[in-house]
Amino acid sequence: MTVEFRPSELWEPDTRRDPHAFYARVRVAGRPVPQVDPAGNRLWIVARHADVLDGLQHPAIGHEVLEHQAQAHRRSEAERIAARQLISLDPPDHTRLRGLVGKAFTARTVAKLEPWIADVADRLVARALELGTFDAVADLADPLPVNVIAQLVGIPEEDRVRFRAWSATIVSAADHDASATLAFAAYIDELAERRRAVPEDDLLSELVALEAEGDALDRDELVAMVQLLLIAGQETTVDVIVNGIRLLLTHSEQWQNLLADPSLASAAVEETLRFRGPVEIVPPRFTFREIAIAGSTIPAFERVGLSLWGANRDPAVFSDPDMFDIHRSDVHRHIAFGHGIHFCLGASLGRLEARIMFDRIARELPQLRLAVDPDELNGFRLHRGTLPLRIR
């Protein structure tokens, strides 16, 4: 079937209102669809589940081309640090760094945080109960991940206000804010020095302890890693919590199911991730040569946009994909955390935070309602978004 696309359709206001209709047409087209982004770059969109998986594992798709281009004008310290982030590295650099970080960021590291996360969630929910009218973003979701990351890394209590301020700047800056990065880097240097002298039970101590074993993260890699945890772990988690609340409250029978059985919290998290995960398209990659993908070819040195939203609504994989259903049996096939070598490092942590939050909300705030007309939420975006709620 011939399906036609306008050159920048993905960014048109109508498409932003309903991106899923666009991805449905890309899936039907049976080829990667070139789109020109607002900066004038061409991005080849891939949207079928099987093709996105293929792209995420393709040996000739990666970040390296971007790296080489960036290297030419990369001089400042902030740019150097940004270039050492795990998420934008290819093998063998990625393999080495991920292996090292994986030694410190383990299932045990995450499990240890559970009681602490539950405590923060309890306090946020108790405060919401007192307020009566509150905002899902500012009062429930936003404060959780940054504090969890601070706890995970081992930021001392007295430095948390500073840490949260840096985090807000680092997370919100469209491009890297050099002065925030530098101040942050100097702080991490100093804290790492303290942990080398006296280790504690935290991620930073585990990361610097690798130095004794020979192979370790170098200074830029260490700073870049903590920075990436903030960038990758903050807004994504907020987004899952807020959109999960929105979806549950606008699908009242499922909300009632969750109230009757809060152990469904985990299923609600997974279906939120599938139906409306935080990552629409994974960070763009490049083709290293001409490649065959999605029933056609993409030339060498082109940008590829692998759409997780497209994959997670593919009718070839999910029955009735446009239905939000926390009871669906095929939900485990979603790829909201990506796939392959860059599979989300914080997946179990993000899942844990959202699950605890949904569980507490179901138990403690059964009277929860939207304080806005659901129709006004159609264009809901995470960035600077709000979701007004009330319990009275």
- Of 241 and 362, nearer to ligand HEM (C-beta) is 241
User: Is residue 232 at the binding interface for ligand HEM, with CB under 6 A as the rule?
Assistant: yes
Instruction: Please tell me whether residue 222 binds ligand HEM under the rule CB under 6 A.
Output: no
Residue 286 lies near ligand HEM (rule: CB under 6 A)? no
Binding-site member from 140, 217, 228, 326 for ligand HEM (CB under 6 A): 228
Residue from the set 87, 113, 131, 168 that interacts with ligand HEM by CB under 6 A: 87
User: Minimum Å distance from CB 48 to ligand HEM?
Assistant: 17
Which pairing describes strands 369-370 and 388-390: parallel, antiparallel, or unpaired? Answer: antiparallel
Of 29 and 241, the one with the shorter C-beta distance to ligand HEM is 241
User: Is residue 338 at the binding interface for ligand HEM, with CB under 6 A as the rule?
Assistant: yes
* Stretch near ligand HEM under the rule CB under 6 A, chosen from 155-163, 200-208, 242-250, 342-350: 342-350
Structure tokens at 237: 């988690």
Task: Determine, following the binding rule CB under 6 A, whether residue 82 of this chain makes contact with ligand HEM.
Answer: no
Is position 204 an interface residue for ligand HEM (rule: CB under 6 A)? no
Residue 278 in the binding site for ligand HEM (CB under 6 A): yes
| Residue 243 makes contact with ligand HEM by CB under 6 A | no
At 192, list the tokens: 């790492």
Q: Is 336 in the site for ligand HEM (CB under 6 A)?
A: yes
What is the size of the binding site for ligand HEM (CB under 6 A)? 26
Q: Does 240 bind ligand HEM (CB under 6 A)?
A: yes
Q: CB count, 10 Å around CB of 161?
A: 8
Pick between residue 167 and residue 237 the one whose CB is nearest to ligand HEM.
237
Among 29, 43, 52, 149, binds ligand HEM (CB under 6 A): 149
- Residues in the site for ligand HEM, rule: CB under 6 A? 86-87, 98, 149, 228-229, 232-233, 236-237, 240, 273, 277-279, 282-283, 336-338, 342, 344-346, 349-350
